[in-house]
Amino acid sequence: VGLQPGSASQLEKEEKHEFSYTFGVLGGVSLNKHLALESGITVANTKISLEPQYIYAQPDNSGVVKYRVNTSSGYGYVLPSFSQNPVPGDSLYMYTSFHSLQYIGIPITAIFGINWHRFRLSLRAGGSANFLTKAKLEVNLENGSSNENETIYNLQATRKIYFSGLAGGQIDYPVKKVLAVSLIPTFRCAITSIDQNATVKSYPMTFGIMAGLKIGL
């Protein structure tokens, strides 16, 4: 029951990352004219969809038989009103599924920069501790003519904290003496998995570009 043989290796392939975004406030201190350290706080939001598929009934962590939904972020159980007494192995069709995650991150980054004409060009490398604040799963279930939406607000096996590394660059363009526009392309890779005791171990990797204003004091 649960995932069928071989589907664990296919799970992440069946998922599609929807629009994700990160925002935050960062501050730094210069060690010399080339090197600086930076830290702050970020909020990252990710939404992932799962392809339509059958889900299967099995005992949950308290022994009650429910339908288990597996994702790369963790798993959860649902029990729609039109199927209140399933037995292990029963199946339902999951037409749509979305799971969303939110993390508060505390990054620490070393920055090496040089001036080039009016620009400041920098390389960035560091790490971040990421604290889970939301893990939600939304599914639409069907069984013949019956259908129902279910929401799970606490995924099982999702770690409350994970660590990631980051590397990238930065371009600063001054618009005033103490104000610059910044573009920061960044690659992030999980060092520890975001889940534990789950169907798969998930180590997300992302690439994005942050834009903002840099204020010098």
Query: Per residue in 26-59, pLDDT tens?
Result: 999 999 999 999 999 999 999 999 989 999 999 9
Average pLDDT (119-136) is: 97
Residues 185-208, mean pLDDT to the nearest whole number: 87
For residues 103 and 101, what is the distance between their CA atoms, to the nearest angstrom?
7
d(CA 6, CA 135): 26
Instruction: Report the pLDDT averaged over residues 64-91.
Output: 92
Q: Residue 11's pLDDT is what?
A: 67
Structure tokens that stand for 7 in this block? 């589907």
- Please report the pLDDT score of residue 171 as a whole number: 97
- Supply the pLDDT for residue 33: 93
**Structure tokens of 152?**
């799970």
Contact 138, 69 (CB under 8 A): no
* Distance, C-alpha 195 to centroid of its chain: 11
| pLDDT mean across residues, the chain | 90
Tens of pLDDT, residues 61-73: 899 999 999 888 8
Asked whether the beta carbons of 124 and 186 are under 8 A apart, the reply is yes
∠ CA 73-79-84, nearest 5°, is 160
The DSSP element (H or E) to which 190 belongs, if any, is: strand 179-190
How would residue 199 be classed by pLDDT, with cut points 50, 70 and 90? Answer: low
Task: State which amino acid sits at residue 83.
Answer: S
Say what the pLDDT of residue 15 is.
84
CA–CA separation, 89 vs 70, rounded Å? 15
Distance CA 39, CA 175 (A): 23
pTM of the model: 0.86
CA angle 182, 107, 104 (to 5 degrees): 100
Q: How far, in Å, CA of 208 to CA of 44, rounded?
A: 12
Assess contact for 166 and 127: CB atoms under 8 A.
Answer: yes
- Between CA 212 and CA 217 the distance in angstroms is 16
* pLDDT of amino acid 2: 40
The C-alpha atoms of residue 186 and residue 125 are separated, in whole angstroms, by 9
Give the pLDDT mean for 78-104: 93
pLDDT per residue as tens digits for the range 141-173: 998 888 999 999 988 889 999 999 999 999 999
